Amino acid sequence: MRNSPNEPAAKLRPPKRFAVLANPQIPEAVELAETIGQQLEGEAYWGTLNDEQVRDQISQQPVDLCIALGGDGTMLRAGHLCAPLNIPILGINLGRFGFLTEVRRPDWEQALSRVMDGDYWLEERMMLRADHLRSDKGLGSWEVLNECFIGRGELVRPVDLVTEIDGRYLTTYVADGLIVATPTGSTAYALAAGGPILSPELRNVVIVPVAPHLSVDRAIVLHEGSSVRVEVRTKHQAILSIDGGLPVSLEDRDRVELRAADNVVHFARLQDPGYFYRNLTSRMGQKPGSEKAL
């Protein structure tokens, strides 16, 4: 179900089956996951995002709502798990920024009471599909909620990135890298690289170069139906990273092809639909520090 941003949220059917998943790196999240799992009415699984048994249970017996405890990184990992299963996610923030989470740590009991009454709405976020190809062989496929980064590895040397849109040559970026992001990812790495901020309900693709040298230095916003193809030209290390995950090594003339994914992520929201801009302005002045978003 998708509510218009300008319409009041209608009550939804209260969820009956739950998955409560914690970031294993946050002890408080693991403890709170057990507390919530024990208090929830109906059937509930709880554990960490690394718990294969819990992940298998969710895949075999889909739930009505996933409660994710952590920060924005936790929400990304939960999105990868839940999007193919069409499971909405309610985020409880135990990280730092919490762009994607919905509930503050002290408010979880009140929030769950509202959810159990059906007093929430679902926000739809688009994803991208990224394919890694070498010659005509596919080496990997991923779904992307934030962004795909294609660029240099550890050596501080730019790479050439031959970029096509809808099968037509755009330009060859000489840069540290290229970010291809969703509207959700527009407030993450793409924002740090100088890209635009897009409203989360939009369905667009954003291309942002990172430290371009004598190349096109402006971000480009594409329609959701567009496809992007990036071919790496390099004599040194290059990588592909999905949503800030572990890097995948790229060789000269490897290609990464991106387009809108079939799956979407649904976030359970309790705030009014204007929350995004209100939260954005309040958080832009925060100092992120050196820790990775959990």
Q: What is the pLDDT of residues 82-93, one digit of tens each?
A: 999 999 999 999
Residue 66 in domain = yes
Residues 134, 47, single domain; the answer is no
In a domain? residue 254: yes
Tell me the pLDDT tens digit for each residue of 260-271.
999 999 999 999
pLDDT in tens, 214-265: 989 999 999 999 999 999 999 999 999 999 999 999 999 999 999 999 999 9
Least confident piece of the model among 119-123, 198-202, 278-282: 278-282
CATH number of the domain that residue 189 is part of: 2.60.200.30
Specify the number of domains making up the chain.
Answer: 2
Q: Which of 56, 64, 72, 136 is catalytic?
A: 72
Number of H helices, E strands in the chain: 6, 17
The per-residue pLDDT for range 134-162, each reduced to its tens digit, is 998 999 999 999 999 999 999 999 999 99
At residue 287, the pLDDT reads 54
Q: Active site includes 72? A: yes
Average pLDDT over residues 54-69: 90
For residues 66 and 90, the answer to whether their CB atoms sit within 8 Å is yes
Whole-number pLDDT of residue 10: 64
- Is the pLDDT at 41 greater than 90, yes or no? no
Q: Is residue 35 scored above 70 in pLDDT?
A: yes
- Residue 289 covered by a domain: no
Predicted local confidence at residue 2, as pLDDT? 46
197 occurs within a structural domain: yes
pLDDT of 34 reads: 94
CATH code of 89's domain = 3.40.50.10330
pLDDT digits (tens, 9 = 90+) for 73-84: 999 999 999 999
Assign 69 a pLDDT band (cuts: 50, 70, 90).
very high
Average predicted confidence (pLDDT) for the chain: 91
pLDDT of residue 63: 93
Q: How far is CA 61 from CA 19, 25, 53, 233, in A?
A: 10, 26, 12, 45
Q: Are 158 and 222 part of one and the same domain?
A: yes
Q: What are the φ and ψ backbone dihedral angles of 93, each rounded to 5 degrees? A: -80, 115
Residue 250's DSSP bridge partners are 238
Place of tokens 């993450």: 188
d(Cα 281, Cα 289) in Å, to the nearest integer?
Answer: 18
| Owning domain of residue 84 | 17-120+270-283
Six-digit token pair at 117?
Answer: 């009454």
pLDDT in tens, 171-185: 999 999 999 999 999
Asked if 142 and 230 sit in the same domain, the reply is yes
157 lies in the same domain as 186:
yes
Assess whether 195 and 101 both reside in one domain. no
How many angstroms separate the CA atoms of 191 and 255, rounded? Answer: 24
**CA distances from residue 170 to 3, 139, 160, 166 in whole angstroms, order as listed:** 36, 25, 13, 9
Share of the chain above pLDDT 70, in %: 92
Given a contact cutoff of 8 angstroms between Cβ atoms, the answer to whether 208 and 181 are in contact is yes
Q: In the numeric block, which tokens belong to residue 49? A: 């995002």
